[in-house]
Amino acid sequence: MLRILTLFGTRPEVIKLVSVIRALESRADRFSATTICSGQHTTLLRPFLERLGMRVDRDLNVMRQAQGPSEVAARVLQALDPLFAEIRPDLLLVQGDTTTAMAGALAGFHRKVPVGHVEAGLRSGDSSSPFPEEVNRRLITQLASYHFAATRGNVETLVREGVDPKRIALTGNPGVDALQDVLAHDKPSRAIEDLVHTHRERRLLVLTTHRREAFGPRMEEHMRVLRRFVEAREDVVMVFPVHPNPSVTDASRTILGDCSRVHLLPPLDHPDFVYLLSRAWLIVSDSGGVQEEVATLGKPLLILRDNTERPEVIEAGLGRLVGDCPEHLGQVLEEIDTDGAWLRSAGSRPNPFGDGQSGRHIADAIERFLGREGSDG
């Protein structure tokens, strides 16, 4: 029996790990699966876990008011070490590039626990964007024993960096699994359905922005550009699920709060958010996860960044980088409003992020990797 610990701390991590955890739990004759929540997010994460019926075996409860990434990392490291000594896992699974994932990988390395990295090989090439995620994911690559890559480009990146190809599995991204599951089985809330229905004659623009490196004047100017675009067009309405970070909530209330065709919403449950994206005319976001979701939904996306670790969404014709210059965002909005050819062509290529079976592919790879290590030993 292989003891697998899966660590997460934020809602995006859970979204991308749920199909992996379920695949592991479905093989109870081979895996003993334990889930650990760091508590890096609280208000966003706990209701989501309850809706999914996700079991949390250990909660590290690291969140403190106004703490920074270094404090989160220190608390995760301190809390995990005795758990490793108690459980003695065969593998620690982490996902993505959060502070929880980075600290968990380092804790595993200290205890000589093999680390498996879900969504390995993403690179923007700029250590300051996204911050601190780009450095986190590079560090995790150095600490991990096994690498579960979503795309062939991610595999090639890992190999170029010196990772043994025998320790890489091409699995697709389990975020696709989660999105397909929501589309097949979940319905949005009545409130979101009513909001979309009320504006059914207008073009729906969906905004999300929360990246730490965008806080301040850049984020505020992007909001002003979007406000001017909406106010100049009676047939456009914008919906903005606002991240709870005060840097986002304060700016959104000040700049957008009194605009009649802008709806500021609290963070949405995943089915509501997916429904909103699926009804959008255009999405504007700095989120990496949204870049993956539009590839499944076939929706056009303006990326509020000057680089991306997911170039596949641009290659697929679904995304366009607008950089960190608000004037450029305004120019691109005017261009696509005048000539809708790009919008009409969105979604014409296969999803580059997988087939919706990534959880199973990752469980298969874990069994293969650990079985091989055991036979070698």
C-alpha atoms less than 13 angstroms from C-alpha of 232 in its C-beta half-sphere: 10
Among 199, 243, 360, 361, the one annotated catalytic:
243
**Alpha helices (runs of H) in the chain, residue ranges in sequence order:** 11-25, 45-52, 69-87, 99-110, 133-143, 152-160, 174-185, 190-198, 217-231, 246-256, 270-278, 288-297, 311-315, 326-338, 341-345, 358-376
Distance CA 171, CA 193 (A): 34
> Of 123, 210, 222, 305, which residue is the catalytic one?
210
Which residue is catalytic, options 119, 181, 293, 309? Answer: 119
- Say whether 147 is catalytic: no
In 3D space, the residue among 348, 295, 304 whose CA is nearest the CA of residue 323 turns out to be: 304
Instruction: Based on the residue annotation, tell me whether 210 is a catalytic residue of this protein.
Output: yes
Identity of residue 133: E
- Is 199 tagged catalytic? no
What is the amino acid identity at position 113? Answer: V
Q: List the one residue out of 4, 38, 37 whose CA is nearest residue 22.
A: 4
DSSP assignment of 130-191, as one string? STTHHHHHHHHHHH-SEEEESSHHHHHHHHHTT--GGGEEE---HHHHHHHHHHHH----HH
> In whole angstroms, what is the distance from residue 70 CA to residue 68 CA?
6
* Separation of alpha carbons 25 and 57, rounded Å: 13
- Catalytic member of 13, 41, 75, 133: 133
Distance between first and last Cα of the chain: 16
List, in order, residues 6 or more apart from 287 with CB less than 8 Å away.
208, 209, 210, 211
243 is catalytic: yes
Within 10 A of 151 (CB to CB), how many other CB atoms are there? Answer: 20
Total length of the chain: 377
- Out of 160, 212, 344, 368, the active site residue is 212
Tell me the C-alpha distance between 190 and 188, whole Å. Answer: 7
Given the residues 97, 309, 312, 324, the one annotated as active site? 97
Would you call 133 a catalytic residue per the annotation? yes
CA distance 28 to 10: 26
Here the tokens at position 311 are: 């170039």
Q: Is 119 a catalytic residue?
A: yes
- Annotated catalytic residues are 97, 119, 133, 210, 212, 243
